[in-house]
Chain A
Amino acid sequence: MIYSCNIESVGVKLPSLSLSTREIEKRLKTSSILKLELLTGISNRRICGENEDSLTLAVEAAQECLKKSELKADELEMIISCSISKYVNGLNHYYEPALSLLIKQKIGNSKALNFDVSNACAGMVTGVHIANNFIKQGKVKNCLVVSGEYISGLAKNAIENVDSIHHPELASLTVGDAGAAVILSRTDNNEEYLSVSEISTLGEFSHLCMGYQSNKSPGGIMETNMKKIHQVSIKHAPFVVDKALQKAGLKLSEIDYLIPHQTAKISICSGAKLLIKHFKKGPGEIVYNLSETGNTASTTHFATFYKYLNEKRFKTGDKVMLLSFASGLVFGVIIFSVNGILNRYGNNN
């Protein structure tokens, strides 16, 4: 028997401190990088303070998600942690035990199947793809997909290293910290299920963005060939979106909200133009949510979805598309309708 799966609740945790793009520009050792805020659309990003890290962000996002959920922590049957950064107690990267195990224990669950998934910024989308498969087949009734990204260390290191607009660490200046969590659950409601989850990898481009531990200072280093990644993403985006739409039996114009990976304003705008040109007519809205949080890696889509839920932007039956581009190079699309979830966020139309 094949079951349907829906997005039952979402939670987000933003850390306590804030860092402005102007402040970053001031700290750079070069004056050749101008108008960073104008190009990226990022005015501020949230950054971890004392006692905040990947684990605390993930746990607090999961707790927020559970507050809005009909499920209790111990009813969760599966927990997938999708963080790229696994920093616990400051910038100590935990390899083992799995972060999902620590999250499971902190939220008060003892029985769920847990493991970590790592797929760069497509981590949560990959987690949702796996959870959807497990739920559809009846292996589990629900799953918490969660991520805590403490990645502002990348920006801190990049500030020290970036010396020109062409430096490979330039993209690190856009990142911010955040935690996000989503509970997927079995549903009998035909109007609110997750209709498409498509994800694939163009491995030949996996070297275009590499992140690893810095050996000079705490935190990571991320080197990106931004120009090439952008070209490849732009070239393939219409095919990825087209394939997912065909599977869903929809046109792009029937999507009410398209939430792309939140990288930089200039990238989102050029991607949007291309999609509209390819499909003749665009979606209702291409969502842009960079201004106050920056690029929050694997949490970006659900952090944006959560913001729109709380701002009561959706109406019953709206179709949402999450479009993911990530190092790897990973392309992912998730399409779902919003219905029952709206009531839990105070939106009764």
Chain B
Amino acid sequence: MGTIINSLAIESSKGGDEIVQLISNTAKSCLRCSGLGISSIGMLISTGVYSENHLKEPALATLVHKQLLERNGLSKTYSEKLGELLSFDIHNGGGGIINAIQVIDGFMKSDEIENGLIVTGDVKPRMGKTENYNFETGAAAIILSKSRDKRGFVKFKTESFSEFKNDFFSSTNWDNGSLVFVNKQSNDYLKKTVSCVVKVIHRFFEEEHLSWDEIDFVFTSQSPKGFSFELKNKLNLKEKIIQLNEELEIYSSGLLFAVNQIFNSKEFSEAKNFLFVTVGAGITASLAYYKNH
């Protein structure tokens, strides 16, 4: 029994969007591709980080949940299905997506859910002043489903390197009497993220007795800018690593943008094993190993 990728959708924009609408549109596309209705989803997790109005509650996932119910005309009758869907957010910067996959995998393995929907995305905060926000506006959604065989996500590993916690941080402040949102990244943050990820990959391969020969494709975060290109060079990954435009920095949805690049291709369906890699503030590096056959 495994947790497999059922469907995937992404959406990019030039900006000016509202996060709930952007993510909901992507989730609707994802549901459409899967042929599933919202009533088949047991868990909905959002891992998006930035919103236009610095939303704090409710969980962003619950607002997406509402949009998906309305799309299905279920908003008036869903009360009768109480207890069938739990929505909440997981926040862990660029790595929240792998934490969310791990959580959904757990609830599938314990037979509590059959399908899980993860949504993610970021838009530039527009409340007050925003400094150094350079991420693209984008959103992605992925549906994970239970498989009856051993395909799917099989192993996870997350490690954090808190000695680098000040190398990337984002927060609001009122230092000058008005609201300012600041995003700060050290000059050698990219180098440090690559170094941390390489260490974690080596330890993961050793613990799980894996080698690069067994990995057909590597999908990574698309932040910091140039991360997948540096990782490719450092590990000599050549075509194994799926790359997007080096100049684009897509935040919490970057990993799914990379998967989407080949998701509907023959290369993807014929590949045996994938490695998913995320890195984010902390520095936190997360890995997920996926068996496709």
Residues of chain B at the chain A interface (Cβ within 8 Å): 44, 49-50, 53-66, 68-70, 74-76, 78-79, 82-93, 95-96, 99, 103, 106-107, 109-110, 112, 127-128, 158, 160, 162, 165, 168-174, 179, 280-282, 284
Shortest distance between the CB of B158 and any CB in chain A (Å): 5
Q: Provided the pairs A95-B49, A117-B90, A328-B87 are in contact, do residues A200 and B82 lie with their beta carbons within 8 angstroms? A: yes
Which of B66, B74, B88 has a CB less than 8 Å from the CB of A119? B88
Q: Nearest Cβ distance between residue B40 and chain A, in whole angstroms?
A: 15
Q: Check B65 against A215 for contact (C-beta < 8 Å).
A: no
A204 near B78 (CB under 8 angstroms)?
yes
The residues of A with any CB-CB pair to B shorter than 8 Å are 2, 84-85, 88, 90-98, 100-102, 104-105, 110, 113-122, 126, 129-130, 133-134, 136-137, 139, 198-207, 209-215, 217-218, 220, 222, 235-236, 239-240, 243, 326-331
Q: A105-B162, A206-B65 are in contact. Are A120 and B85 (CB under 8 A)?
A: no
Query: Complex: how many Å from CA A88 to CA B172?
Result: 10
Residue of B50, B74, B88 with most chain A CB atoms under a 10 A cut-off: B88
Q: CB distance A97 to B171 under 8 Å?
A: no
Residues of chain B lying within 8 A (CB to CB) of residue A239: 82
Known: A202-B78, A209-B57, A328-B87. 16 other contacts (CB 8 A): A93-B54, A96-B93, A96-B281, A97-B169, A98-B92, A98-B281, A101-B162, A119-B89, A133-B107, A137-B110, A198-B83, A201-B65, A206-B63, A214-B179, A327-B62, A330-B87
Distance in angstroms from B181 CB to nearest chain A CB is 8
Interface pair B174/A207, CB less than 8 Å apart: no
Contact A104 B160 (CB under 8 A): yes
Q: How far is the CB of B132 from chain A (nearest CB, A)?
A: 13
Smallest CB–CB gap between B175 and chain A, Å?
8
Q: How many A-B residue pairs have CB under 8 A?
A: 211
Provide the main secondary structure of the chain A interface: mixed
Asked if A328 and B165 sit within 8 Å, CB to CB, the answer is no
Question: Could you tell me if B49 and A96 are in contact, using CB atoms closer than 8 angstroms?
Answer: yes
Q: List 17 A-B contacts (CB under 8 A).
A: A92-B174, A95-B50, A96-B168, A97-B284, A101-B162, A104-B162, A115-B96, A116-B90, A117-B88, A119-B59, A203-B87, A209-B57, A213-B127, A213-B128, A215-B179, A240-B82, A331-B82
Contacts of B165 in A (CB 8 A): 97, 101-102, 105
B70 CB contacts on chain A under 8 angstroms: 204
Measured CB to CB, the closest approach of chain B to A334, in angstroms, equals 13
Our pick among A96, A117, A120, A199 for the contact of B58 (Cβ within 8 Å) is A120
Give, as a whole number of angstroms, the nearest-CB distance from B252 to chain A: 10
Q: Which of B74, B85, B91 contacts A115 (CB 8 A)?
A: B91
Closest to B53 in A: A212
Q: Can you name the residue of chain B whose Cβ is closest to the Cβ of A208?
A: B58
Least Cβ–Cβ distance between A228 and chain B, in angstroms? 14
Residues of chain A lying within 8 A (CB to CB) of residue B50: 95
B54's nearest neighbour on chain A, judged by CB, is: A213
Q: Min CB distance, B123 to chain A, in Å?
A: 13
Cβ-defined contact, A91 with B174, below 8 A: yes
**A204 proximity list for chain B (CB < 8 A):** 66, 69-70, 74-76, 78-79
Chain A residues with Cβ below 8 Å from B75 are 204
A113 touches B54 (CB 8 A): no
Q: How far is the CB of B21 from chain A (nearest CB, A)?
A: 13
Q: Which B residues touch A117, using CB under 8 A?
A: 88-91
Q: A97-B169, A331-B82 are in contact. Are A213 and B56 (CB under 8 A)?
A: yes
Contact B169 A94, beta carbon cutoff 8 Å: yes
User: When the two chains form their complex, are residues A97 and B90 in contact, meaning their CB atoms are under 8 A apart?
Assistant: no
Q: How far is the CA of A235 from the CA of B80 in the complex (A)?
A: 12
Known contacts being A98-B284, A120-B58, A203-B85, is A215 close to B128, with CB within 8 Å?
yes
CA distance in complex: A258, B62 (Å): 26
Q: Are A206 and B58 in contact (CB under 8 A)?
A: yes
> Would B85 and A113 count as touching, CB distance under 8 A?
no
Asked if A133 contacts B90 (CB within 8 A), the reply is no
Q: What distance in Å separates the Cβ of A169 from its nearest Cβ neighbour in chain B?
A: 14
